[in-house]
Amino acid sequence: MLFHLTSTEKEMSSMEKKKEKNEDFERKVEQFELKWRKKLAELAILLFLSYRKDGAHAYELRTRVEEILFSKRKEAKKMLEEVKTLLQKIVLLQAISYEERVEKIDTIKRQLELFPFLINNKFIQSLLDKEPSIPLSDSIDYLNELIELIDQTIDAIESSSMLWSNISGIYPSINSLEKSGFIALKRTEEHEGRLRKIYVITNIGRRALQKTISSILEIIRFMFQMVIEGWYEEKDIMASSAPLIYGKLFKKFREGIVGQNFGSITSFQQPHLVRPLLSFLIPPELNAMVPHTGALLSAQQLEQLLSQINDDVQRELVISTMKSRLEGIQNIINEVLKVLDTLSNKANK
């Protein structure tokens, strides 16, 4: 007897195959990422030990390695938690009369000054006004969606910012480096009734670290060149203007921003420009040039890269952030030049 699948069964079968394909895809990506994270962990161990003459034990290495690799993500998590708490306060305000919440609103407005992408948000503004310009339900729904996305983003940060669930996870990396001769056991010391092994970097480890860093810098330089010469299409990896982990959250923030030029916000100054969210919105090839006293890109190359950011608000945030950072560097350079001129004049007298 022959059995024929109905259209519904065929559709379900097709959906199951698509789901299996997506799961296989994600599994392969995660496996590749995991391999690189393990190698990055070994590199971070060498980096930390390279400036710790007295060495370090496994517990300290575990903490420091995760700080080296994921410090910006952890800062972003902390900032997002602050934003979430603030948004929850705004939602809870709606349960009391306007007269009762006037004092609390003033406090919240001062806190909002730290977050330009919130203070100029039309839904938040409406909730803080005496006469809301947007239906209350719409604003509350928006904030609840934003809070839910923040929770999802925090979960994503946590899952991608941990190398080892417990201390035993670091030992394969330590054993691999020790076996290769890149680190060595210097001594053992007693701590709370247990012996701790203290490891130091060896000469061959320092040399391996130097060569690895040199190779990484060459790869990064090549990546910049690929972007500048337009090797990548708009949808490809290097042209992506915001990391996937923050993509949905940024779009939700974007929905609430008033106008294309941030409405009443006329300038972006410290401390909110150092906030991690804005840093993550800057494409890596642009972010890399900012810490240096000499720009890695020419003005023409910079303009080309900025033109790849299609979202007007995001582009303005990137430009404002970069201007602030570069102006800060310029001020430092001017101060240093003054000191050098003073020393030079003294030497010539």
Residue 3 confidence (pLDDT): 52
In the block, tokens 């006293």 appear at 293
Share of the chain above pLDDT 70, in %: 73
Compute the average pLDDT of residues 284-292.
49
Which residue did the predictor score with more confidence, 36 or 147? 147
User: Cα 319 to chain center, whole Å?
Assistant: 18
**Structure confidence at residue 4 as a pLDDT band (50, 70, 90):** low
Residue 6 confidence (pLDDT): 66
Compute the average pLDDT of residues 208-222.
84
Residue 183, helix vs strand vs coil: strand
Phi, psi of 10, rounded to the nearest 5 degrees: -65, -40
**Structure confidence at residue 273 as a pLDDT band (50, 70, 90):** very low
CA-based torsion, 39, 41, 47, 53: positive or negative: negative
Residue 322 and residue 282: Cα distance in Å, rounded?
Answer: 9
The pLDDT tens digits for 125-169 are 899 888 888 999 999 999 999 999 999 989 888 887 777 777 888
Task: Please say if the pLDDT value at position 175 is more than 90.
Answer: yes
The pLDDT tens digits for 91-127 are 998 888 878 888 888 888 888 877 767 777 889 989 9
Task: Please say if the pLDDT value at position 292 is more than 90.
Answer: no
Q: Which two tokens stand for residue 153?
A: 């983003």
Nearest CA-CA partner of 242 in 335, 117, 107, 140 = 117
Answer yes or no: are the C-beta atoms of 155 and 80 closer than 8 Å.
no
Q: How many CA atoms lie within 13 A of 180 on its CB side?
A: 18
Residue 140 confidence (pLDDT): 93
Which residue did the predictor score with more confidence, 79 or 311? 79
**Structure confidence at residue 204 as a pLDDT band (50, 70, 90):** very high
Residue 94, helix vs strand vs coil: coil
Residue 54, helix vs strand vs coil: coil
Compute the average pLDDT of residues 239-268.
58
